[in-house]
Amino acid sequence: MSSFRFEQHGAVGKLILLGDAASEPGADYPSSLRAGVRQAYESDIRVLHVTSASGSFAIADNPGDIGGKGSKFLEAFAADVLASLRAIEELPIPTVASVGGMALGGGFELLLACDFLVAAESAHLFFPEGMVGGVPMTGGVQRLADRVGSARATRLVLLSEMISGKAALDLGVATHLAPDAELEKVTEDLLQRLANGPTLAYGKMRSLIRAWSSGGVSAADVITLQVTAGILDTKDGAEGMAAATAAIKNGEPIPQIQFSGR
């Protein structure tokens, strides 16, 4: 069975981790993830939702096909996964992850590759690798540090401390917190807002944030004009600016603008 399935629902794409906590992930996890990301890239979606059929992104006590195959297998496995996580980050559309249960190790790393993370109050996230002499191998350490700072990341990763849903929001790991019963609604509201937003502008803003993350303000400054060039020549940019200009001239609030994603 494939570890992931891609679905398209109008402007919203869903990359779904299949199975239950005891079977995540299998040996096909890298290839299945790569195929799902490629389908997302080739589609005409305007936002991608990374979710799980079980509500959790976890490796259970028995890691199944991964454990026991040696370092070389694990290193190749991790390299393939990391390439797919970078591909998710480089999609030209916003990405949203949601978690209602546990997110452990590689599952947590997958969530950290997304722009937005909606966590249920009862969600728990952590890296258990340090407890067993291992290291998170698909980018989670650095992405967690990027969100919470080096001191907090050091504590959370080296001591394998559990992060509750509320703590995830307070620390900046999660962008949204939802009561358990409202996780689906909060996530769907966010997805619809992004799916109906100025998709091209979102992509350009995400590029600037990535440039800042890797090289600071100076790196982002260098590419700012290149990235933002032509934005007012797009349909959304031209119509949005025209509507805003007219409203300001008339002393009216800027209206709700209907964006086409073009």
Query: pLDDT (tens digit, 0 to 9) for every residue of the chain, 262 residues total?
Result: 568 999 999 999 999 998 765 554 667 889 999 999 999 999 999 999 999 999 999 754 445 556 566 788 888 988 999 999 999 999 999 999 999 999 999 999 999 999 999 999 999 999 999 898 889 999 999 999 999 999 999 999 999 999 999 999 999 999 999 999 999 999 999 999 999 999 999 999 999 999 999 999 999 999 999 999 999 999 999 999 999 999 999 999 988 899 999 9
- Verdict on whether the full-model pTM lies above 0.85: yes
Answer yes or no: 89 catalytic.
no
Q: Which residues pair with 99 in a beta bridge?
A: 119
Q: Residue 208 has what pLDDT? A: 96
Nearest to 228 by CA among 255, 256, 254, 200: 200
Tokens of 91: 């999609």
Q: Would you give the DSSP letter of residue 132?
A: G
The single residue of 129, 161, 239, 252 carrying the catalytic annotation is 129
How distant, in Å, are the alpha carbons of 72, 93, 230, 262 from that of 259?
48, 14, 17, 8
Which of 7, 109, 182, 188 is an active site residue?
109
- Cα–Cα distance measured from residue 95 to residue 47, given in angstroms and rounded to the nearest whole number: 6
Compute the distance between CA of residue 189 and CA of residue 200 in angstroms, rounded to an integer: 20
CA 228, chain centre distance (Å): 23
What confidence score (pLDDT) does residue 60 get?
A: 43
Task: Tell me whether residue 182 is one of the annotated catalytic residues.
Answer: no
